[in-house]
Amino acid sequence: MTPTSTRTTALVTGASAGLGHEFAKQLAAQGHDLVLVARNASRLAETAEEFQRSYGVSAEVLPADLTNDDDVATVVERLKDAARPVGILVNNAGIGLLHNFEDNHPAEEASHLKLHAETSMVLTHAALKGMLERGDGRIINVASVAAFLPRGTYSAAKAWLVSFSRWANLAYRKRGVRVTAVCPGFTHTEFHDRMGMDKSVAPSWTWLRAERVVSEGLADNERGKAVSIPSKRYKVVAAVAKVAPARLMAGPARKPK
């Protein structure tokens, strides 16, 4: 289906599962049309049908591997289509690496960094011009509370995304474009299962529900906040990380062998 001209269209990456699926769901419930981006084409089609049926919105399907330059270019082209403007961009697609840096192949690390930082930057750039011309737009970059912790290249990539979002919100908010880095902690999604993590290592109190992360993130973006940290417990973690010694915040997985 083609998005209607009277509704705002939201493009969500990683939309077939996890936080991406929840972002798309809540945006559809608010009446926004969707462009759904993910690698799994069949699952993406099922997701589109679900939202069209449940919320009466239009849902485009755009299968893409956002670590692949050609696929990224396809999404860029869609974001730049002035005849079908995208008013909300959610950069959510992400992956995790289970092992320590020294045990990962450099190609894995490069792909990981590309997806979290470079691709988010490229898609933001593609969406921004049209948003500025219209004087209205919303961009959400899904980062992590790990951005405030010294925990490997995942933290480093997410720290870049938080810094980028802070700057972009400062630079463009007065021109009508709100940019927010959403920084959840452990969240009940497929993310940790796909990377092979033993989720029992994290206490039950540390886990958040995807519905809460997304609802708070959307609300904070609507208010123009540059950084959204869902839940008081993770706000405390981020605050403590600013003053605590790095060795205390690094976590057991990053201690030297």
Of 154, 172, 225, 234, the active-site residue reads 154
Beta bridge partners of 61: 36
Q: Across the chain, how many H-helices and E-strands are there? A: 10, 7
Task: Tell me, letter by letter, the H, E, C secondary structure of 150-183.
Answer: CCHHHHHHHHHHHHHHHHHHHHHHHHCEEEEEEC
User: Does 158 participate in catalysis according to the annotation?
Assistant: yes
Task: Tell me, letter by letter, the H, E, C secondary structure of 71-89.
Answer: HHHHHHHHHCCCCCCCCEE
Q: What are phi and psi of 104, to 5 degrees?
A: -90, 150
Q: What are phi and psi of 178, to 5 degrees?
A: -100, 130
Tell me how far apart the alpha carbons of residues 130 and 169 are, in angstroms, rounded to a whole number: 16
Beta bridge partners of 37: 13, 62
Tell me how far apart the alpha carbons of residues 79 and 232 are, in angstroms, rounded to a whole number: 35
Of 25, 114, 158, 225, the active-site residue reads 158
Dihedral angle over CA of 212, 214, 219, 222, nearest 10: 180
Dihedral angle over CA of 218, 28, 122, 161, nearest 10: 20
Cβ-contact 218, 28 below 8 angstroms: no
Tell me how far apart the alpha carbons of residues 114 and 141 are, in angstroms, rounded to a whole number: 14
**Active site residues per annotation:** 154, 158
